[in-house]
Chains A and B, each alone.
Chain A
Amino acid sequence: MSSTWLTTRAWLLMLPLLAVMIAVIGWPMAETVRLSFTDAKLVGLTGHFVGLDNYAKILSGSNFRGTLSTTAFFAIVSVGIEMVLGVLAALLLNQQFYGRTLLRALMILPWALPTIVNATLWRLIYNPEYGALNAALTQLGLLGEYRSWLGEPGSAMAALILADCWKNFPLVALIALAALQSVPRDLIAASLVDGASALNRFRFVILPYLAGPLMVALVLRTIEAFKVFDIIWVMTRGGPANSTRTLSILVYQEAFSFGRAGSGASLALIVTLMVTLLALAYGALVRKAAGSAA
């Protein structure tokens, strides 16, 4: 059988899948690119070609830049907390103690919940009239009167980050825990005999085995945090006063709330491009980390 026939047959076999992919990914993508160069409205989707006008307006406007920094703030702070918390939890759960298996299983629970459920749960906790947080804090005497945690620009972002960390640190902990199991016992023993302190043991023995997997967790979580939508949409809808409006929320508002399909599409493409660049940069980092640990 000739290799050309093999190649042809391979393509033939893939054709149905390709057709589906073009229909559900390729065509909408192409449409988005086309729309981004028009002033099309959501209704009708017909508009005039306006060239790079949409892009120019978005990139020069303060809306975009403000939202970008809100997004970056959310991503950096919540992912940072998740990484630290996750590693600490993994170190703890890697110790030998009674009930460890149960605790390991319990820790996964927040991450196993659907984001919408988690968000709804935290919205109830933060509720200004009957929320558990208000009740707990006032009963402990730490808070004079009930506050609207999600209703004040000062606290809404912090409340969101807390809810996001609660849900996502278990993923980091899980990855770190798996990595910790790969640290050779002999190496720990050698460092004990060599007289390394706990801190030095972490630095020279544990970290080399943790770095690669943690980098993967960092990549996954940053990209997810950068395009965060659902948890914010359920809890604050980007408010109050746009204080929790991230890029994905902005895209949604532009395209669907204001019906500006053209500039919404441009915005979406800008966000996509940024996430892609982020993924590429991280990919290079991961490959580098993997190379040094081997």
Chain B
Amino acid sequence: MSALTLERIAKNYGEVETLKGIDIALESGEFLVLLGSSGCGKSTLLNIIAGLAEPTSGDVRIGDRSVVGVHPKDRDVAMVFQSYALYPNLTVARNIGFGLEMRHVPAAEREKAVREAAALLQIENLLDRKPAQLSGGQRQRVAIGRALVRRPKIFLFDEPLSNLDAKLRMEMRSELKRLHQMLKTTVVYVTHDQIEAMTLATRIAVMRNGVIEQLDRPEAIYNRPATLYVATFVGAPPMNLLSATTTPEGLSIAGLETPLALRHGLEAGRPVTLGIRPEALGLAARETALAFHAELAELTGPELVVTGTVGGQKLVASLPPASGVSPGDRATLFAAPEAFHLFDPATGLRLNRDR
């Protein structure tokens, strides 16, 4: 039995189709990240799971119970918001225990649960403060604590780290990972941050225009993106895209004289979009080579990000700083055959026959 099942979920706001048939089955203990840019429908989907919005059609099941039309409080879910959404005139302790208080849990039991959650989140010393006296990171810990004490079937997170500064965001990310590993909870987590998605998720659903483009484990999303959109959304700097045509032995890249040797299993003469991740390119000799003309080199610290052209088409490569490539240099870049992703330029779908 799945912990959460979404079946053909559609949501229309007037003429606008925000969600167009979403299917997800989530096992207990999974950490699902809904990833996409703003307006893709990920928050709407989360609200539908929470019961804060109702789907136009489709079914939501928590465990084996359909919860469509069930009030949020009766769904056994807890939610953490981007804005923390703490009750401003209640202390931290009462904020954390609010859900239990509203459910008439006896005070002693409530206090014990609050203490446990606070200990887990290392905010025991803040229990008597008001939200206004807390930092952003502390507030988000309180909000997570408020969800934890309820021991719900499903935790819902709506961009919980987006309001934090970069350092704190990384800290809280590890914290969430630690909590999930320890508590083995079932989580649905909405974000537009691909790093959060990659690091936290057991599975990622990349969403775009109300549909799921790909639902898979993080490494599969990264290594075998199902569509051009997924390929360019995940990864920084984003994947390079080159126009090419298939030949019997490989690929002919537009603007490049020598064709690329690559086994692709596609009929010859077919136009494709070739995707290569900047970090998959290197100077060490490998199977496949690309003649590269460097134009700009940016040192980020651990990497030297070199922008240039391959046959007149733009290409970015993340190289070791020691490679010493500088603007004006001509270099040969190498990559392993599995680093070449082929997409249909018209549909954006992946063409590689994956092993």
Query: Which of A's residues lie within 8 Å of B, judged by CB?
Result: 184, 186-187, 189-197, 200, 204-205, 208-209, 292-294
Contact = CB atoms under 8 A, between A and B. Distances in A.
6 contacts: A189-B50, A193-B77, A195-B72, A204-B87, A204-B89, A292-B89
A24 to B, nearest CB: 44
Contact of B89 (A184, A191, A196, A293): A293
A195 B102 contact: yes
A53 B132 CA distance: 54
Interface in B77-96: 77-79, 81-90
B90 A186 contact: no
B25 interface: no
Nearest to A201: B102
B81 A195 contact: no
B132 A294 contact: yes
A188 to B, nearest CB: 9
B73 interface: yes
Contacts of A184: 83, 85
B162 to A, nearest CB: 12
Nearest to B147: A193
A189 B85 contact: yes
Contacts of B86: 187
Interface of B: 47, 50-52, 71-74, 77-79, 81-90, 98-99, 102-103, 132, 146, 150
Contacts of A195: 72-74, 99, 102-103
Contacts of B85: 184, 186-187, 189-190
Contact of B82 (A186, A191, A196): A186
A221 B153 CA distance: 50
Contacts, number: 67
Nearest to B89: A208
Q: Count chain B CB atoms within 10 A of each CB in A191, A197, A292 and give the residue with the most.
A: A191
A116 to B, nearest CB: 42
Given A190-B79, A190-B81, A208 B87 contact: yes
Given A190-B81, A294-B132, 11 more contacts: A187-B83, A187-B86, A189-B85, A192-B51, A193-B52, A193-B73, A193-B78, A194-B146, A195-B103, A197-B102, A293-B88
Nearest to A292: B89
Contacts of A194: 73, 98-99, 102, 146, 150
Contact of A200 (B50, B88, B89, B102): B102
Contact of A193 (B79, B83, B90): B79
B84 to A, nearest CB: 8
A208 B95 CA distance: 14
Contacts of B79: 189-190, 193
Q: Count chain B CB atoms within 10 A of each CB in A187, A190, A200, A209 and give the residue with the most.
A: A190
A209 B85 CA distance: 13
B13 to A, nearest CB: 13
B53 to A, nearest CB: 10
Contacts of A186: 81-85
Contacts of A293: 88-89
Nearest to A195: B73
Q: Count chain B CB atoms within 10 A of each CB in A186, A187, A196, A205 and give the residue with the most.
A: A186
Q: Count chain A CB atoms within 10 A of each CB in B50, B82, B88 and give the residue with the most.
A: B88
Given A186-B85, A187-B87, A293-B89, A196 B102 contact: yes
Q: Which 4 A-B pairs have the closest CB atoms?
A: A195-B73, A190-B85, A186-B85, A194-B99
A192 B71 CA distance: 8
Contacts of A197: 102
A187 B102 CA distance: 15
Nearest to B132: A294
B90 A192 contact: no
Q: Count chain A CB atoms within 10 A of each CB in B78, B83, B84, B85 and give the residue with the most.
A: B85
B98 to A, nearest CB: 5
Contacts of A292: 89
A195 B52 CA distance: 12
Contacts of B103: 195
A193 B102 CA distance: 10
B72 A193 contact: yes
Contacts of B102: 194-197, 200
Contacts of B78: 193
B110 to A, nearest CB: 13
Contacts of A196: 73, 98, 102
B19 to A, nearest CB: 18
Nearest to B90: A204
Nearest to B130: A292
B50 A193 contact: yes
A4 to B, nearest CB: 43
A4 B103 CA distance: 67
Contacts of B77: 193
Contacts of A192: 51-52, 71-73
B89 A189 contact: no
Contacts of B47: 189
Q: Count chain A CB atoms within 10 A of each CB in B77, B79, B89, B146 and give the residue with the most.
A: B89
